[in-house]
Chains A and B, each alone.
Chain A
């Protein structure tokens, strides 16, 4: 596992390549949209739905990133998110919207603290502790909801609605202009405008916060001494210890922050994605968050990109009469994978190239064989995409070296 240190010129070249890839993907999307006449692929409405579906996954994914960068596998994200949904509802009901957000973070952090106690102090296997947290989260939220919400106005033993939620803002001018452009259905320009309109129309302050947290995470973990120390606990805790880093403390901080992120994801579900609380409303988004972290290669921008993709798949699965749209996306996937295969081939990774090209051809054949994807499949889209992308991208992923490994103080001696 040696990594060569990149020269500034090489870094510039990578950045340059990234932009080319992004542009190529954009052009492909736009081409497929025009060819298949599925304009809903990039309308502001669809992209707004995708963004809202993506944010809870993003926050869970960032939570997972914080923990795993310090060497702790946090499968308990789902349970911490659940605690967050309850915290958001309870505190928002009594003290207002932002108290709800804070309460959700606190509840999630509490779940994180529990995970830290088990894994760091008592050395419990991370997976076992995480699964336990998920079960505890589910039970605790059921109990708390029954105890508190039953007597509330707009509440029941499993539900609560009618509490305050963070405000939504529309950026005037830009929103309507972009919307107009997107309706012209011009090649490329309308697609970009659709995205701009999607993020400038009725944007929740919590969405802005979630996006800012991506930059915040990247800055803290990669640009501050604190972040360097935290990451060193995930790569080689023994080495960190010899340099005087209090590994236990850093692991605790990381896992508590991780839980807080998951809790915020829960708040997003209960305040932005809907305005009501119901027990068990995370529906596995914590796990999808974990998948987005892995696919995002333990890297904030990667997590953002992959959660947007999962969110998009989630969003279109809820559109009416979406068979033809999902059908068009088959074509899109086939073309993108073919491009990926060509890239691999050029780099000499022939085996991978053949496999990916094979999948692309199969998708293309499926595209040609049917006119519309049956609705049973469209609901599965997010999960199929997850499986699929992980299978294709798995070789490129690199997790922190000491991720999930037990660490005891004094091992370095």
Chain B
């Protein structure tokens, strides 16, 4: 059924393109949208003015949002602009997000980044009203695929690939043959981390078992609940887990607390969390699954300054260093690093498929 609709849209889109005498036909590849509709680059009015709208957890979460901020900072030093930021509350409604985005656009900001999938819906609603503003949603998806907004870029990642690598690290490090995973919210995005992690563990150590907890089933506050993170991690430790990977944003600090008290290992996420952890926690952060939100944020802003704002889906993978793993702290022995790099090459070469669903 879905394929049928897609086909219908394709035919429809083709008809539109034909009737418009193919004006947009010779655009760049990256401007292709999923349904074959093609977009022209957004014309920004005046100089790019950048605004960043954070997700639950916000700047200072030492993880996802901080990575976006790092990208903004890098662009700021390079292009020399002021920029502005907006913080999200943990239980805010769709309208509040929309208002935040409209506020930015009305204030003259024309390059707007929504950090986190939660902005997908609100950007989709706001974008048509501001055709000369370039929007991006990190981790985003287009909720209305039949009606593509050409001024929206969806920056996504192959989280499963990066998680696979830290899964290998966990599988080779565990002594109890039990490793844990703490997810912030049980949604398809976070399941992608779990799927990759499990695949990596299984590949490197078939005897090891993965135990999993999600802090919340659907409530986004699962990313801003360090107490929940700590309790979830303690539960996994009780199950025998001695290496715990988290994909839970600011709640992950609680996971670090739990492994630090129990003298075990944790694996960070998004940013290189060894660098931002407290001195007590640092000896317990084995590695981090890097999701280079900073790279994509920077790329998106840079593209706007180059006069060719991004549009449609762009996936950042292992191959283009959009995801990776960190070795800060030097806890991974050299032969393990070699093993992980070997898997990494296999994934880049396409010899190894990493599942995206558990």
Q: Are B239 and A320 in contact (CB under 8 A)?
A: yes
CB distance from A166 to the nearest CB of B (A): 13
Q: Are A45 and B221 in contact (CB under 8 A)?
A: no
Closest to B210 in A: A320
CB distance from B2 to the nearest CB of A (A): 25
**Assuming A156-B59, A157-B59, A158-B59, is B226 touching A46 (CB within 8 A)?**
no
CB distance from A82 to the nearest CB of B (A): 11
Within 8 Å by CB of A376, from B90, B217, B230, lies B217
Digitize B210-223: 1 where CB-to-A-CB distance is under 8 Å, 0 elsewhere: 01111111000100
**Residue B62 is within 8 A (CB to CB) of chain A in the complex:** yes
Q: Are A156 and B235 in contact (CB under 8 A)?
A: no
Within 8 Å by CB of B60, from A40, A159, A281, lies A159
**Residue A297 is within 8 A (CB to CB) of chain B in the complex:** no
User: B239 to chain A: which residues have CB within 8 Å?
Assistant: 319-320
**Residue B238 is within 8 A (CB to CB) of chain A in the complex:** yes
Q: Are A274 and B226 in contact (CB under 8 A)?
A: yes
User: Which chain B residues numbered 212 to 266 have a C-beta less than 8 Å away from chain A?
Assistant: 212-217, 221, 224-232, 234-239, 250, 253-254, 257, 261
User: A202 to chain B: which residues have CB within 8 Å?
Assistant: 261
**Residue B114 is within 8 A (CB to CB) of chain A in the complex:** no
B residues near A, CB below 8 A? 57-62, 65-66, 87, 89-91, 180, 186, 211-217, 221, 224-232, 234-239, 250, 253-254, 257, 261, 276, 278
A residues near B, CB below 8 A? 40, 43, 45-46, 48-49, 52-53, 138, 142, 146, 149-150, 154-162, 168, 202, 269, 273-276, 278-281, 283, 314-315, 318-321, 375-376, 379
Q: Are B235 and A49 in contact (CB under 8 A)?
A: yes
A-B contact pairs, 11 of them (CB 8 A): A53-B227, A142-B87, A156-B65, A158-B61, A273-B226, A274-B254, A278-B61, A280-B91, A281-B227, A318-B235, A320-B236
Within 8 Å by CB of A273, from B65, B216, B227, B235, lies B227
Q: In the complex, what distance in Å separates the CA atom of A142 from the CA atom of B60?
A: 13
Q: Are B217 and A278 in contact (CB under 8 A)?
A: no
Q: Are B89 and A375 in contact (CB under 8 A)?
A: no
Q: Are A48 and B211 in contact (CB under 8 A)?
A: no
How many contacting A-B pairs (Cβ < 8 A)?
Answer: 131
Q: In the complex, what distance in Å separates the CA atom of A278 from the CA atom of B55?
A: 13
**Assuming A142-B89, A318-B215, is B278 touching A281 (CB within 8 A)?**
no
5 nearest CB pairs, A to B:
A156-B60, A45-B238, A274-B226, A273-B227, A158-B58
User: B238 to chain A: which residues have CB within 8 Å?
Assistant: 40, 43, 45-46, 319
**Assuming A161-B253, A321-B212, is B89 touching A279 (CB within 8 A)?**
yes
Q: Are B89 and A274 in contact (CB under 8 A)?
A: no
User: B57 to chain A: which residues have CB within 8 Å?
Assistant: 158-159, 278
Q: Are B212 and A320 in contact (CB under 8 A)?
A: yes
**Assuming A269-B227, A279-B89, is B214 touching A375 (CB within 8 A)?**
yes
User: A146 to chain B: which residues have CB within 8 Å?
Assistant: 87
Q: Are A52 and B231 in contact (CB under 8 A)?
A: yes
Within 8 Å by CB of B224, from A46, A150, A281, lies A281
Q: Are B250 and A318 in contact (CB under 8 A)?
A: no
Q: Are B89 and A319 in contact (CB under 8 A)?
A: no
Q: Are B58 and A379 in contact (CB under 8 A)?
A: no
Q: Are A283 and B87 in contact (CB under 8 A)?
A: no
Q: In the complex, what distance in Å separates the CA atom of A156 from the CA atom of B237?
A: 29
**Assuming A161-B62, A283-B225, A375-B186, is B250 touching A278 (CB within 8 A)?**
yes
CB distance from A302 to the nearest CB of B (A): 24
Closest to B90 in A: A280
Q: Are A159 and B89 in contact (CB under 8 A)?
A: no
CB distance from A19 to the nearest CB of B (A): 30
User: B214 to chain A: which residues have CB within 8 Å?
Assistant: 375
User: A280 to chain B: which residues have CB within 8 Å?
Assistant: 89-91, 221, 224
User: B234 to chain A: which residues have CB within 8 Å?
Assistant: 45, 48-49
Within 8 Å by CB of B87, from A138, A154, A157, A269, lies A157
User: A155 to chain B: which residues have CB within 8 Å?
Assistant: 60
Q: In the complex, what distance in Å separates the CA atom of A376 from the CA atom of B217?
A: 6
Closest to B88 in A: A158
Within 8 Å by CB of A149, from B60, B229, B276, lies B60
CB distance from A88 to the nearest CB of B (A): 13
CB distance from B324 to the nearest CB of A (A): 24
Q: In the complex, what distance in Å separates the CA atom of A281 from the CA atom of B278?
A: 20
Q: In the complex, what distance in Å separates the CA atom of A154 from the CA atom of B244?
A: 22
User: B212 to chain A: which residues have CB within 8 Å?
Assistant: 320-321
Closest to A52 in B: B231
Closest to A275 in B: B257
User: A160 to chain B: which residues have CB within 8 Å?
Assistant: 60
Q: Are B59 and A315 in contact (CB under 8 A)?
A: no
Most chain B CB within a 10 A radius of its CB, from A157, A275, A314, A379: A275
User: B237 to chain A: which residues have CB within 8 Å?
Assistant: 45
User: B211 to chain A: which residues have CB within 8 Å?
Assistant: 320-321
User: B235 to chain A: which residues have CB within 8 Å?
Assistant: 45-46, 49, 315, 318-320
Closest to A314 in B: B231
Extra pairs beyond A159-B60, A320-B232, A320-B235 (15, CB < 8 Å): A48-B234, A53-B231, A146-B87, A154-B278, A156-B66, A159-B250, A274-B229, A274-B254, A276-B257, A279-B58, A281-B224, A283-B90, A319-B213, A319-B239, A376-B217
